[in-house]
Amino acid sequence: PAGGAAAMPRSGVPLAEKPVLQMAPTVDLPAKVCELVLNAGPDSFSGLAAAGFRTAKSLPGEWHESNCRLYHKAFGGCEQAERGRTEAKELAERTAVAAQRTQKDSTAVLRQRLQGIRFWKADLQKEIEDLDAETGLLAAQKLRLERALDATEVPYAIATDNLQCRERRQPPDLVSDEVESELLKETELIRNIQELLKRTLMQAANQMRLNRDQKEVCEMDWSDKVETYNIDSNCGRYSNQSTNIQFHPSSVKFEASISTPETWAKFSHDNIYRAEQEKLASINLRALIDNILHDVSKDLRTQCAAVNEAFAKHCEELDDTKLKLEYHLEKVLKEIGNQEANIAALKQAIKDKEAPMKVAQTRLYDRSFRPNVELCRDEAQFRLMAEAEELTESIESLKKKLLESEQSLRNLEDTRMNLEKEIAVKTNSIFIDRQKCMAHRIYYPVVQKLAGY
């Protein structure tokens, strides 16, 4: 065996099958010198004692075959390892390029996403600012409504006070005239206006609530966009050299309630659309409030002018009637004086007839004592009797005329009293309408105050 080992070529062992080369070139295997140790000791199996027995020793051919298999296996292992190293290097380079490209694409997509978030965030912020400004303008209109509603209390108090004051007029001036009709129209108009302003106030308050609710929705969406923008911005700044990166294996799974880009955009679009709708409704309501306040103030001032005109016309009528009554009272007073003088003259005339009557009756009485035939119905007797009769008729006529004059004087006194009473009634009516009502109406609010300014 030692001689067989020495006879092997040192350049290498011939192979039964030539391996197929792929990437690495073929190299010669180094020659291996095998030295056999001879069993010369006392415990060795060599010698005649072991002759004829089969042991575990291999035959030289098996030994060479075993060595060849080992060589082939080592050579194949090296080639496979070299191919693996080459493939691993290429794979590492390829995956590094792919990872860099993928990371770059992801960063670009994140930047695009940031642009989308920034776009919707800007639109939401604009809608929030517009809604806030619109709510402020609507609040100013609401304040005008409240001021206008408060301002209607003064006209209503004036109108009701006028009606109550005019109830204190005395008959026959206690009538349902044009002034009362206009005052009733004014009170009815003010009540209707107050109801309209109250309804409009409720509508404005409800619209302000809707504006604030929609603003809150947009603010929540905007806040989510800001938080998301900060998160994606931080994600875009991450790199392979970042110190705050780590493994999160569970994050590669989709969330159960995750949204899609379509639903994400639709959500913000719907919020902006509803905000636009509420803003448009608020603008229309502000225009309506402005028109209402303009019409209300105009109607109130128009009705106020109508009431004032009716008051002025009625006061002129009262003044004219009072002047006429005073003129007739003056005439009646003058006539009363004349009638009193006439009665005094009649009484004096009756008194003046007493002396002639006494003379005539005394003459007749004395002549009734004429003696005998001297008691004659002579001309003097007839004339005295006629005189007495005439005086009696005259006195009766004067007394009758005196009664008539006294009755006329009583009638004139009654007329005077009625005229004086009527003049007092007219004076009271003029005082109520002019001093109480019209003087109170100078405090009627102006158009600007009725319009809520």
Answer yes or no: is pLDDT of 7 > 50: no
Residue 327, burial from CB neighbour count under 10 angstroms (0-12, 13-18, 19+): exposed
Q: Residue 25: which residues within 8 A CB-CB, separation 6 or more?
A: none
**What tokens appear for 316 in the block?**
């002129």
The larger pLDDT score, comparing residue 80 to residue 16, is at 80
Answer yes or no: is pLDDT of 39 > 50: no
Q: What is the CA radius of gyration of the chain?
A: 69
Quote the pLDDT of residue 214: 95
**What tokens appear for 438 in the block?**
């019209």
The answer, yes or no, to whether the previous bond of 172 is cis (omega within 30 of 0) is: yes
Residue with tokens 């019409």: 295
Average pLDDT of the segment spanning 198-211: 96
Domain residue ranges in the chain: 114-238+261-311, 328-368+376-449
Reported pTM: 0.69
Residue with tokens 């694409």: 105
Amino acid at 369: F
Length of the chain counted residue by residue: 453
Average pLDDT in the chain: 86
Quote the pLDDT of residue 84: 86
Quote the pLDDT of residue 55: 59
Q: How many CB atoms lie within 10 A of CB 415?
A: 17
Encode pLDDT of 148-195 as tens digits: 999 999 999 999 999 999 999 998 888 899 999 999 999 999 999 999
The CA distance from 4 to 163, in Å, is 150
Residue 386, burial from CB neighbour count under 10 angstroms (0-12, 13-18, 19+): exposed
The CA distance from 110 to 116, in Å, is 10
DSSP assignment letter at 125: H
The CA distance from 28 to 168, in Å, is 142
Q: Residue 373: phi, psi to the nearest 5?
A: -75, -10
The CA distance from 85 to 308, in Å, is 112
Look at residue 329 and give its three-state secondary structure. Answer: helix
Supply angle C-alpha 293, 299, 301, rounded to 5: 100
Encode pLDDT of 243-302 as tens digits: 888 887 877 776 666 788 899 999 999 999 999 999 999 999 999 999 999 999 999 999
Phi-psi region of 55 (alpha: psi -120 to 50; beta: other; left: phi over 0): beta
pLDDT band at residue 60, thresholds of 50, 70 and 90?
Answer: confident
Q: Look at residues 371, 353, 355, 372 and name the one whose alpha carbon lies nearest to residue 363.
A: 355
Average pLDDT of the segment spanning 27-43: 46
Quote the pLDDT of residue 248: 78
Encode pLDDT of 410-449 as tens digits: 999 999 999 999 999 999 999 999 999 999 899 988 888 8
Quote the pLDDT of residue 255: 65
Answer yes or no: is pLDDT of 42 > 70: no
Average pLDDT of the segment spanning 320-341: 94
Residue with tokens 């008729």: 393
What fold, for 114-238+261-311?
Answer: Substrate Binding Domain Of Dnak; Chain:A; Domain 2 (1.20.1270)
Quote the pLDDT of residue 254: 64
Q: Residue 78: which residues within 8 A CB-CB, separation 6 or more?
A: 24
Average pLDDT of the segment spanning 315-338: 94
pLDDT band at residue 17, thresholds of 50, 70 and 90?
Answer: very low
Encode pLDDT of 85-123 as tens digits: 898 898 888 888 998 899 899 899 999 999 999 999 999
Contact 173, 187 (CB under 8 A): no
Contact 221, 267 (CB under 8 A): yes
Amino acid at 429: S
Answer yes or no: is pLDDT of 383 > 70: yes
pLDDT band at residue 147, thresholds of 50, 70 and 90?
Answer: very high
* DSSP assignment of 176-218: --HHHHHHHHHHHHHHHHHHHHHHHHHHHHHHHHHHHHHHHHH
Q: Look at residues 317, 318, 306 and name the one whose alpha carbon lies nearest to residue 444.
A: 306
The CA distance from 323 to 157, in Å, is 33
